[in-house]
Structures are given as structure tokens and as C-alpha cells.
């Protein structure tokens, strides 16, 4: 899949949520997020004939907590959704480590060839990052106005992931296994 299409499918629902919130408020934004998530999953499936597990889990949670938000007319559910997703992700990383599996490798293994110890280190770090974002969301949803919480969710959380990714690049670059150079072929002089 084209990386720009994937980026649009991954972040499109968040952009729709943010834009709708700015013009219409949290409840219409929640409905728009639900619709955009369904469209994103459907387009992903139509392009790849598969849906990766994380967008699927996220989609189920968006529909569940978004539905509760709209049905009960309560912001609580859409705000707590981020905490639940991040706790599930962090717990999944730790569960994988307990089963001697690195989910960081499953996600990024196609991009980087790293030794197993490095994948384990990255998995621990990802777990910590997910739990940190869950804790920050709990503080944000309880201490901030809805406007400020939306800014935190849409702007600060992705920025934290960018900083986290950049902070891990030295570990990745230092330990990446480079393929052995191809032996030079000698030409025969006739």
C-alpha cells in the first residue's frame, strides 16, 4: 500500500474528529469519528484484503465508546477510550514479552533488521510509552476542559509518539544488522 494512502487511512479519522469538533462540538465529532473509522477500515480492506489487528481493535473500541458517548450523552466514554486503548497496547506488549515474543518486531520488523535483544528493549520501551500516554490521558481528561483535552489527544499524543520514535532511533541505527555486501565479480580477460 502506498505510504501516503496508509498515513491518510491511519490519521484520517483523527483529522475528521478534530475538524468536526472545532466546528460542531464533541458529540458530532464523536459520530464523525465513528463513520470515518468505518470508512478507513473498509478502504483498508478493499485495498489489501486484510485488516491489521490494531486498527480493527481500535475500530471496535471507537464504535463501542463512541456509541456509549452518543447514547448516554456523556463525554466520559470518548475521553476514556484513549486510556483503555493505550493500556491494552501496553499490556499486549508485556504479554508478548512474557511469551518470549516481541510485538515491536512484528510491527517494525519489515523496516529494520535488529538483534532479538534490541527488539525486546524496544518492546519494553513501547509498553512504557503506552502506559505513560494512558496516565497522561487520565490527568488530561480529569484536569482539562474538553477543548483542551481534544487538543491534547489530537496534537500532543501524536507529538509524543514522534519524540518517542526519534529518541529510539540511536538504538535502532547503532544496532541495525546490515546485509553483507555482495562479493565483487571478477571479469575474465580473454
Q: Average pLDDT in the 175-190 region?
A: 68
Q: Average pLDDT in the 56-80 region?
A: 94
Determine what percent of the chain is predicted with pLDDT higher than 90: 74
Q: Average pLDDT in the 141-159 region?
A: 96
pLDDT at residue 32 in the model = 97
Residues in the chain: 190
Tens of pLDDT, residues 124-134? 999 999 999 99
Given a contact cutoff of 8 angstroms between Cβ atoms, the answer to whether 48 and 1 are in contact is: yes
Sign (positive or negative) of CA dihedral 149, 108, 55, 38:
positive
Q: 22: left (phi > 0), else alpha (psi -120 to 50), else beta?
A: alpha
Is the pLDDT score of 187 beyond 70?
A: no
Is the pLDDT score of 183 beyond 80?
A: no
pLDDT at residue 104 in the model = 86
Q: 28 pLDDT band (50/70/90 cuts)?
A: very high
Amino acid at each position: 500500500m502506498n505510504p501516503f494512502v496508509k498515513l491518510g487511512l491511519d490519521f484520517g479519522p483523527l483529522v475528521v474528529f478534530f475538524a468536526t469538533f472545532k466546528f460542531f462540538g464533541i458529540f458530532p465529532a464523536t459520530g464523525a469519528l465513528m463513520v470515518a473509522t468505518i470508512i478507513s477500515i473498509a478502504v483498508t480492506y478493499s485495498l489489501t484484503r486484510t485488516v491489521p489487528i490494531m486498527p480493527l481493535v481500535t475500530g471496535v473500541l471507537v464504535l463501542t465508546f463512541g456509541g456509549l458517548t452518543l447514547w448516554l450523552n456523556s463525554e466520559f466514554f470518548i475521553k476514556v477510550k484513549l486510556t483503555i486503548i493505550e493500556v491494552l497496547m501496553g499490556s499486549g506488549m508485556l504479554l508478548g514479552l512474557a511469551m518470549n515474543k516481541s510485538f515491536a518486531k512484528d510491527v517494525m520488523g519489515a523496516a529494520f533488521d535488529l538483534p532479538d535483544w534490541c527488539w525486546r528493549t524496544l518492546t519494553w520501551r513501547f509498553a512504557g510509552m503506552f502506559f505513560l500516554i494512558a496516565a497522561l490521558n487520565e490527568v488530561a481528561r480529569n484536569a482539562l476542559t474538553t477543548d483542551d483535552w481534544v487538543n491534547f489527544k489530537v496534537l500532543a499524543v501524536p507529538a509524543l509518539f514522534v519524540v518517542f520514535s526519534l529518541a529510539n532511533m540511536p538504538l535502532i541505527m547503532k544496532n541495525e544488522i546490515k546485509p553483507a555486501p555482495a562479493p565483487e565479480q571478477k571479469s575474465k580477460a580473454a
